[in-house]
Amino acid sequence: MAIRITDLTAEMAKGDKKKKVVLAYSGGLDTSTIAVWLQEIGFEVICYLADVGQREDFDLVRAKAKALGASKMIISDLREEFVTEFIWMAVKSGSLYEDRYLMGTSFARPCIGRKMIEIAMEEGADYVSHGATGKGNDQNRFELACYALNPEVKIIAPWRLPEFYNRFKGRADLLDYAKLKNIPVDATPSSPYSIDDNLMHISFESGPIEDPSKEPPSDTYRYTVAPEQAPDKPCRIEIEFSKGVPVRVHNLENPLETFDKALDIFMYLNKVAGENAIGRIDIVENRFIGMKSRGIYETPASTVLYHAHLDLELFCIDKEVYRIKQFLTAKFAEQVYNGFWFSPECEFVRHCLDKTQEVVEGKVRVMLYKGGLHIIGRESPLSVYNEDLVSMDVQGDYEPSDADGFIRINALRLREYCRVSRKCAKLQKVGLRPPSANGNK
């Protein structure tokens, strides 16, 4: 459980040295306020920002944290591990939360939380803090990760402390405090949205899109163009996979655009997919905490990889193995969305999903055109596809008459169901009449 203000007061009274807290710091108004407020109640604040590919002026954030009195500003470049450990797992699993959301925020949070705990241990900080609200999913994701990795850690969640949220009831109160404490505030008007930006996606919530019936303003989107603004010429690319992971991508019409390093592959796909209007969704989803929320998401590269990987996977994986994987994928998506990445059940499911990917080897060719994503070919040395076996022109190693017994066995259950149903009027519900007593139909 997150620490309460009464516990904080008691803790601060112990000893002569200031207690250290690692604050997940973005440089925005909320976490800047929290940084000063934590010092106000007696903490030494170490600010931490994870670079997971967001478009950010890190020098500006560093300077701002120091100006606010932070003893340190630690910026960790997590882009490579975010891609290789988390995004690639998203690709291998084929995860979609509620059949639509690729979970760009959900996959980033355990990566960020793990590093925060590592820094807290290195710095000798007993406390960590964050600016997540009491209504969202991120509070669960951050804190469950922290407790899983260091059960003794103490978490300060200001937006769940009555002493904090009653004092700062809205943006006006935050701005008044910023003026009082000389907290630098951007001169430009703040975005009306709550935004999460990383390599995998950018998301928009709150503000003018809280009304689910309203179309998002055209200037909402940042990393994808509208379909009508996309190029008139299709973009054709080939993606190569090994054990379910992308290992190479190249533009079929421009061989110079070839990439084989994880971060480069993902960034290139973000670029070409965004230019061709791929990856936008507008959904209402169920938060873990129990309420529904509307989100606008741009997920260009992951959208391409989801469809390319699915195509190759079905080309290579046994049918019954794939059916079991579908069940595991649904569980995995729920675990990740809800913040249970470091749980034993999630670890188990990841191992199972990895096993299914051992045969997912090959190449997929994709055409991107004005918001449309079209698979135009695939090849694999491990495919279970047998052209001779399936061909209508070649009999292959298959005897068509064998299908007679196959059909009769599968029809046995259906015949028995019909026999029992004739004893009642049940068949009438599907447009059939039971035989009459005199045998007339």
Concatenating the DSSP letter of every residue in 157-168 gives -GGG-HHHHTT-
32 in catalytic set: no
> Facing residues of 368 across strands?
235, 373
From CA 352, how far away is CA 221, in angstroms rounded? Answer: 37
DSSP 291: -
Q: Which of 71, 76, 194, 343 is catalytic?
A: 194
Q: One of 32, 93, 138, 203 is an active-site residue; which one?
A: 138
| Residue 435 predicted with pLDDT over 70 | no
Q: Are 362 and 379 in contact (CB under 8 A)?
A: yes
Identify whether 30 is a catalytic site residue. Answer: yes
* Residues 258 and 251: beta-carbon distance below 8 Å: yes
Helices of type H across 150-259: 162-165, 171-180
**Per-residue DSSP letter, 288:** T
Give pLDDT, residue 193. Answer: 80
Q: Mark whether 404 is an active-site residue.
A: no
Say whether 319 sits in a helix, a strand or coil: helix
SS3 label, residue 204: strand
CA distance 427 to 308: 44
Please state, for a pLDDT cut of 70, what percent of the chain lies above it.
91
* Per-residue pLDDT, 218: 84
Mean pLDDT, rounded, for 85-114: 98
Token pair of 373 as six digits: 């994503």
Q: What is the pLDDT of residue 265?
A: 98
Is a pLDDT exceeding 90 seen at residue 194? no
- pLDDT at residue 401 tops 70: yes
Q: Tokens 């964050």: give the residue.
A: 130
Residue 4 has pLDDT above 90, yes or no: no
CA-nearest of 295, 273, 360, 246 to 98 is 295
User: With bands split at pLDDT 50, 70 and 90, how would you rate the model's confidence at 417?
Assistant: confident
- How does pLDDT run across 69-89, given as a tens digit for each residue? 999 999 999 999 999 999 999
**Is 422 labeled as catalytic in the residue annotation?**
no
User: At a CB cut-off of 8 Å and minimum separation 6, what does 67 contact?
Assistant: 184
DSSP string, 123-166: HT-SEEE----SSSSHHHHHHHHHHHH-TT-EEE-GGG-HHHHT
- 26, 32, 95, 109: the catalytic one is 109
* CB contact set of 147 (below 8 Å; sequence gap of 6+): 153, 155
Asked if residue 120 has pLDDT above 80, the reply is yes
Per-residue pLDDT, averaged over 294-314, amounts to 98
**Residue with tokens 């000063």, as numbered in its chain:** 36
DSSP, res 94: T
Give the mean pLDDT of the chain: 92
Q: Name which of 100-104, 139-143, 402-406 the model is least confident about.
A: 402-406
Of the listed ranges 25-39, 44-58, 338-352, 376-390, the one predicted with least confidence: 376-390
Q: Nearest-CA neighbor of 10 among 149, 150, 134, 154?
A: 154
Span 231-242, mean pLDDT? 98
Q: In b/e form, how buried is each residue of 134-172, taking b as 16+ CB within 10 angstroms?
A: eebbbbbbbbbbbbbbbeebbbbbbbbbeebeeebeeee
Q: Exposed/middle/buried for 99, CB within 10 Å: 0-12, 13-18, 19+?
A: exposed
Nearest residue to 68 (alpha-carbon basis) of 221, 172, 182, 237: 182
Q: Tell me what pLDDT residue 343 has.
A: 98
Instruction: Give me the mean pLDDT over the 41-55 stretch.
Output: 96
pTM for this structure? 0.90
pLDDT band for position 394 (cuts 50, 70, 90):
low
> What pLDDT score was predicted for residue 427?
60
Beta-bridge partner residues of 156: 129
Give the pLDDT score at 16: 58
For residue 375, what are the CA distances in angstroms to 142, 254, 304, 431? Answer: 37, 19, 10, 41
